């Protein structure tokens, strides 16, 4: 098994295991806040959804009601979508792996914005793909850098998180979206728009989904950040021909996603106002974001730079003075606070002076306390 043995377990997951001590304030995970889950609403939805039908095998494509709801929400947000354009997946992680299986042969070239979501990097590695980074700045992926990579490397696929990216929190501007879409069309390049965070916007105007600008863009959505991740519900919007292939790949992967969880999500969308729930999430997360960003100047040394995200879950930092943040982590853990060093988010040459902080999991008070501990760790 030559491919597998070169891939290690997710560093973030291994780290999370180490930071599970209850006294640790963790800014490491990318977890939604559990106290904000609509537990009562979801309990009622499961109760309503449970039936002999929802306990049975079901079509691979997914629950018809759930697909109709998701399509209607996408359409309302400016991405015209029919239920038949969607495949329900076991989380959007599965959607990504299905796309990889359907489109990439070993040795294929994948372009990624850098830094990027590390479980995506893992999926590309597992498929034996060669990952080529594309530079990004505070406005997201740089189109000129993409054009150069496309010219030189002829990638099969571009992967990016255009809105409130993981790990950077950055958002691709509207002008750059148009440029990326045009490049994709011109070079017949498949683009994966991984979009778990875009509904978590705390300021500014919504931007058009990349998928609304070109049929070469596959759009991945998720219930994990707006509903709850435990249900493992994601969806994939793709052109009809590719969708047919992806359904076959999904059949082999797990036949279909949990019928019960799909029916529960559909029942929830029938009887609850998810958009109102998302507004409540945004109100809470906005305060947490503000608390963390406000604490940054007094926490990190002079010369540190950070992203100022309009939404999502993450702040991305670069520290001055050639520091390696992996060496800071044990000091932070000794003070019962955790973050993620930035190196694993790079496909090739990592910038070791970077780190990621998540502001969604902790309350404003905990963020204040945790940032204080982090400041102490950085001084000591």
Compute the least distance from the CB of residue 325 to its own copies, in Å: 23
DSSP H stretches of helix in 20-112: 39-49, 64-76, 91-103
- Write the binding mask 204 to 243 for its own copies: x where contact by CB under 8 A, - elsewhere: --------------------x---xxxxx-----------
Helical axes 39-49 vs 259-271, angle rounded to 10°: 120
CA-CA distance, 250 to 166, in Å (whole number)?
A: 25
Write 239-246 long-range contacts (CB < 8 A, 24+): 239/215, 240/84, 240/85, 242/102, 242/218, 243/85, 243/87, 245/102, 246/87, 246/98, 246/99, 246/102
- For its own copies, the closer of residues 19 and 212 by Cβ is 19
- DSSP per-residue letters across 156-191: SEEEE--SS-TTT-----HHHHHHHHHHHHHTT-EE
Binding segment for its own copies (CB under 8 A), chosen from 258-266, 281-289, 291-299, 372-380, is 258-266
Measured in whole angstroms, the distance separating CA 166 from the mean position of its chain's CA atoms is 6
Compute the least distance from the CB of residue 133 to its own copies, in Å: 19
Residues 13-32 that bind its own copies (CB under 8 A): 13, 17, 29, 31-32
- For its own copies, the closer of residues 44 and 294 by Cβ is 44
CA-CA distance, 76 to 70, in Å (whole number)?
A: 10
- For its own copies, the closer of residues 195 and 310 by Cβ is 195
Compute the least distance from the CB of residue 90 to its own copies, in Å: 4
The verdict on 255 binding its own copies (CB under 8 A) reads yes
- Write the binding mask 73 to 112 for its own copies: x where contact by CB under 8 A, - elsewhere: ----------------xxx-xx--x---xxx-xx------
- For its own copies, the closer of residues 9 and 298 by Cβ is 9
Binder to its own copies among 5, 205, 303, 379 (CB under 8 A)? Answer: 5
- From residue 291, give the alpha-carbon distance in Å to each of 29, 268, 329, 333, 361: 18, 32, 22, 21, 13
Residues 31-60 that bind its own copies (CB under 8 A): 31-32, 34-35, 37, 39, 42-43, 46-47, 50-60
- For its own copies, the closer of residues 170 and 216 by Cβ is 216
């Amino acid at each position: 098994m030559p491919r597998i043995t070169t891939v290690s377990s997710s560093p973030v997951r291994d780290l999370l295991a180490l930071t599970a001590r209850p006294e640790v304030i963790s800014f490491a995970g990318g977890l939604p806040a559990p106290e904000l889950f609509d537990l009562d609403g979801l309990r009622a939805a499961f109760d309503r959804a449970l039936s002999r039908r929802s306990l049975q095998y079901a079509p691979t494509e997914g629950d018809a009601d759930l697909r109709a709801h998701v399509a209607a929400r996408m359409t309302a947000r400016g991405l015209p979508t029919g239920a038949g354009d969607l495949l329900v997946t076991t989380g959007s992680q599965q959607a990504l792996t299905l796309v990889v299986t359907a489109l990439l042969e070993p040795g294929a070239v994948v372009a990624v914005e850098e830094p990027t979501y590390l479980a995506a990097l893992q999926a590309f590695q597992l498929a034996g793909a060669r990952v080529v980074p594309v530079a990004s700045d505070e406005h997201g992926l740089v189109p000129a850098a993409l054009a150069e990579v496309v010219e030189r490397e002829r990638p099969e696929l571009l992967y990016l998180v255009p809105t409130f990216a993981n790990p950077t929190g950055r958002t691709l501007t509207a002008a750059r979206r148009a440029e990326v879409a045009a490049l994709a069309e011109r070079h017949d390049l498949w683009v994966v728009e991984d979009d778990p965070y875009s509904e978590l916007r705390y300021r500014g105007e919504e931007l058009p989904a990349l998928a609304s600008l070109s049929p070469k863009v596959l759009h991945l959505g998720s219930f994990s950040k707006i509903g709850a991740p435990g249900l493992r519900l994601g969806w994939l919007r793709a052109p009809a021909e590719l969708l047919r292939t992806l359904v076959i790949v999904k059949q082999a992967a797990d036949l279909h996603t949990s019928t019960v969880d799909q029916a529960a999500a559909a029942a929830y969308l029938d009887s609850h106002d998810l958009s109102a729930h998302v507004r409540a999430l945004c109100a809470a997360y906005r305060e947490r974001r503000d608390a963390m960003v406000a604490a940054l100047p007094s926490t990190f040394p002079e010369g540190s730079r950070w992203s100022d995200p309009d939404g999502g879950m993450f702040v991305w930092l670069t520290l001055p003075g050639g520091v390696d943040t992996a060496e800071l982590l044990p000091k932070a853990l000794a003070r019962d606070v955790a973050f993620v060093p930035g190196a694993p988010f790079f496909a090739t040459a990592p910038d070791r002076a970077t780190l990621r902080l998540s502001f969604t999991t902790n309350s404003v008070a905990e963020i204040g306390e945790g940032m204080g501990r982090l400041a102490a760790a950085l001084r000591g």
